[in-house]
């Protein structure tokens, strides 16, 4: 055994990886849930993958800047602007209210005006009745009128009464006619005109069944005066007689033209007021719309800036109402997006590093399984994370003597730290194992280098076997690892090989060297050897029940005679059935071989 000088593990690992990457391509077969090595892998250059990782990082930054340099099309309002909708809505509401208000006011004014005119006409008619009574007496007086219209109208007293009636009519432009009717005998409508302020041709008679108001009949109709028809209000009160037996009546005709003119004047005033009200309302609505939409427009502009990729931009709340709350919420959302973007960049960076570590991890696994005559070898590896901490390996120790090194190891940490420790352990182990037939000595030297640099709290368990391919003798050393299972065909029972030893990295040398032991085992035809990590026996189901050592040993005995590939496949299926829907919590590694001849 030649002496070895201490070698820096990191430098040795880097040198070995670069050399192997330059010499050969990395081949890897993807298996759902993990990886099985059967000699078929896809080819990928480690250097190219490393370059790809750098490209990925650049692509991340480029993607961010790219989104800013190529902003989405500017948002355009496809319908009416909010301010216009607001103004139109308020204006229509104001116009509607104004129209309804004008109609109601005009109706009330017209009703009130007509009521006042009727009241005025009724009072004038009642006042006219006293005068009409005198005119009737004079009319029937034999010395004045002698019941003859022409005689009475030409009499001095008749002319005086007519002048008096004309003065009354001229005093009020609303009075169209003052007429005194009389008859020689009682009737429903005496039509003998005694005196009149005008020359009425005809007018609308009162409707049948019309009831008097305060002894005055009031109706509306048309009056023809000098050949011209005109809307009028008629007032009639009896002078002599009552009911349907009237001998003489006093009649007042008021023109409706004045009523219509006053109503039209009121409508015009209401219209002008309504227009002013609408104009003021539209102005106020414009002001209100501006006050409401200005913060919204500012928020829309800020949102457009953020949508173009500027997550550092913040809007300034202009009000303390719901819009201000929306602006503050938008700022919080932008901050959350900015944090999420930073986290995404960090995740992408970590994923890039994970991909590189995964490639390194895959590169550290053996490129292919040993093809040994008389041996049926197969292995399987399933990691619980992107980058696992389990490790298996095959390498030549002394080719001339036919010594083959076999390793199954488990790093306490997972992910990138576990992968890095595993890579360092592999490099150091291979260096220490070259030409050294003692597995215990190899583990001691490996522990010496690992214990100096391994992170506190991390360690490596390992089962290291040197197989004499020609002699079928194994030299075995364990660094606190699970026992090796050997199934003997001759006795159809299993044996556990568990040499003494503690995990790598616990102690820098003295305790480890005193503890580690080496054991030799002779194999025979039909025997099967199984090396594994604790992820096999500690596999848990949804009830957190482990598969267990005894179940595993029984499985080995029941399936030992299968071909190694079928043995591993059925072992994985058994673990999957036990695990069910539970998550895989630890890496699973199995290496097995059987002596065939």
Q: Once rounded to an integer, what is the mean pLDDT over residues 527-546?
A: 93
Q: Where exactly are the structural domains of the chain?
A: 9-39+355-595, 92-263
* Spatial separation of the C-alpha atoms in residues 346 and 60, rounded to whole Å: 10
The pairs formed by 545-549 with CB atoms below 8 angstroms and a separation of 24 or more are 547/574, 547/575, 547/578
Tokens of 33: 């849930």
* Spatial separation of the C-alpha atoms in residues 446 and 513, rounded to whole Å: 11
Determine contact, residues 360/416, Cβ cutoff 8 Å.
no
Phi, psi of 417 (to 5 degrees): -60, -45
pLDDT in tens, 93-113: 888 888 888 888 888 888 888
| Among candidate residues 253, 278, 135, the one with its CA nearest the CA of residue 203 | 253
Among residues of the chain, what percentage have pLDDT more than 70? 83
pLDDT in tens, 233-282: 999 999 887 666 668 889 999 888 877 788 888 888 888 888 888 888 88
What is residue 530's predicted lDDT score, i.e. its pLDDT?
97
| Residue 186: band (very low, low, confident or very high) from pLDDT cuts 50, 70, 90 | low
pLDDT in tens, 225-246: 666 788 889 999 998 876 666 6
Using the predicted structure, report yes or no on whether residue 88 has a pLDDT greater than 90: no
What is residue 444's predicted lDDT score, i.e. its pLDDT?
94
pLDDT in tens, 419-458: 788 888 999 999 999 999 999 999 999 999 998 888 888 8
Determine contact, residues 161/118, Cβ cutoff 8 Å.
no
The listed range with the strongest mean pLDDT (22-36, 174-188, 308-322, 582-596) is 582-596
Determine contact, residues 384/414, Cβ cutoff 8 Å.
yes
Q: Once rounded to an integer, what is the mean pLDDT over residues 286-303?
A: 80
**Which of 4 and 546 is assigned the larger pLDDT?**
546
Q: Once rounded to an integer, what is the mean pLDDT over residues 562-577?
A: 95
* CATH architecture for segment(s) 9-39+355-595: 4-Layer Sandwich (3.60)
pLDDT in tens, 461-508: 999 999 999 999 999 999 999 999 999 999 999 999 999 999 999 888
Using the predicted structure, report yes or no on whether residue 54 has a pLDDT greater than 80: no
* Spatial separation of the C-alpha atoms in residues 523 and 379, rounded to whole Å: 19
| Residue 223: band (very low, low, confident or very high) from pLDDT cuts 50, 70, 90 | confident
Task: Find the DSSP H helices in 28-81.
Answer: 46-69
What is residue 77's predicted lDDT score, i.e. its pLDDT?
66
Contacts of 389 (CB under 8 A, 6+ apart): 410, 411, 412, 413, 414, 415, 418, 419, 421, 422, 587
* CATH architecture for segment(s) 92-263: 2-Layer Sandwich (3.30)
Using the predicted structure, report yes or no on whether residue 574 has a pLDDT greater than 80: yes
pLDDT in tens, 359-395: 777 777 888 899 999 999 999 998 876 666 788 999 9
């Amino acid at each position: 055994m030649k002496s070895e000088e201490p070698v820096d593990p990191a430098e040795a690992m880097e040198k070995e990886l670069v050399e192997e990457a330059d010499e050969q391509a990395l081949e890897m077969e993807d298996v759902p849930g993990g990886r099985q090595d059967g000699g078929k892998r896809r080819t990928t250059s480690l250097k190219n993958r490393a370059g790809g990782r750098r490209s990925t990082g650049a692509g991340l930054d480029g993607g961010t800047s790219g989104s800013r340099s190529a902003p989405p099309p500017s948002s355009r309002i496809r319908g009416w602007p909010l301010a216009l909708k607001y103004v139109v809505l308020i204006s229509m509401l104001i116009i509607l209210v104004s129209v309804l208000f004008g109609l109601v006011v005009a109706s009330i004014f017209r009703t009130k005006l007509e009521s006042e005119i009727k009241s005025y006409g009724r009072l004038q008619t009642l006042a006219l009745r006293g005068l009409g009574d005198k005119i009737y007496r004079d009319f029937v007086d034999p010395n004045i009128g002698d019941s003859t219209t022409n005689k009475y109208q030409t009499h001095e007293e008749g002319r005086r009464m007519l002048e008096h009636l004309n003065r009354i009519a001229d005093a009020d432009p609303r009075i169209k006619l003052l007429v005194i009717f009389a008859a020689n005998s009682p009737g429903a409508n005496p039509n003998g005109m005694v005196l009149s302020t005008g020359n009425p041709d005809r007018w609308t008679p009162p409707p049948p069944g019309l009831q008097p108001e305060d002894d005055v009949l009031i109706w509306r109709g048309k009056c023809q005066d000098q050949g011209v028809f005109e809307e009028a209000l008629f007032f009639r009160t009896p002078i002599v007689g009552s009911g349907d037996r009237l001998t003489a009546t006093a009649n007042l005709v008021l023109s409706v033209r004045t009523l219509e003119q006053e109503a039209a004047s009121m409508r015009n005033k209401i219209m002008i007021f309504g227009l002013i009200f609408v104009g003021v309302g539209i102005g106020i609505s414009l002001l209100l719309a501006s006050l409401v939409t200005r913060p919204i427009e500012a928020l829309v502009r800020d949102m457009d800036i953020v949508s173009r990729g500027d997550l550092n931009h913040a809007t300034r709340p202009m009000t303390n109402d719901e819009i201000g709350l929306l602006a503050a919420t938008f700022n919080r959302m932008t901050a959350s997006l900015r944090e999420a973007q930073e986290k995404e960049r960090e995740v992408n960076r970590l994923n890039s590093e994970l991909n590189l570590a995964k490639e390194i991890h895959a590169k550290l696994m053996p490129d292919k399984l040993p093809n040994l005559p008389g041996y049926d070898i197969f292995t399987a590896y399933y990691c619980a994370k992107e980058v696992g901490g389990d490790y298996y390996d095959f390498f030549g120790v002394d080719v001339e003597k036919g010594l083959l090194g076999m390793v199954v190891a488990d790093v306490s940490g997972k992910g990138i730290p576990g992968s890095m420790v595993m890579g360092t352990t592999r490099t150091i182990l291979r260096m220490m194992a070259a030409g050294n037939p003692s597995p215990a000595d190899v583990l001691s030297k490996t522990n010496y280098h690992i214990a100096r640099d391994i992170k506190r709290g991390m360690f490596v368990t390992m089962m290291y076997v040197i197989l004499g391919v020609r002699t079928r003798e194994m030299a075995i050393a364990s660094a606190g690892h699970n026992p090796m299972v050997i199934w003997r065909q001759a006795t159809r029972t299993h044996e556990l090989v568990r040499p003494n030893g503690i995990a790598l990295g616990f102690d820098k040398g003295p305790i480890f060297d005193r503890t580690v032991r080496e054991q030799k085992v002779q194999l025979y035809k039909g025997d099967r050897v199984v090396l594994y990590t604790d992820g096999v026996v500690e596999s848990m189901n949804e009830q957190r029940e482990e598969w267990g050592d005894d179940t595993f040993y029984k499985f080995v005995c029941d399936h030992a005679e299968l071909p190694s590939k079928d043995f591993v496949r059925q072992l994985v299926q058994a673990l999957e059935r036990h695990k069910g829907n539970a998550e895989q919590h630890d890496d699973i590694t199995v290496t097995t071989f059987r002596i065939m001849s």
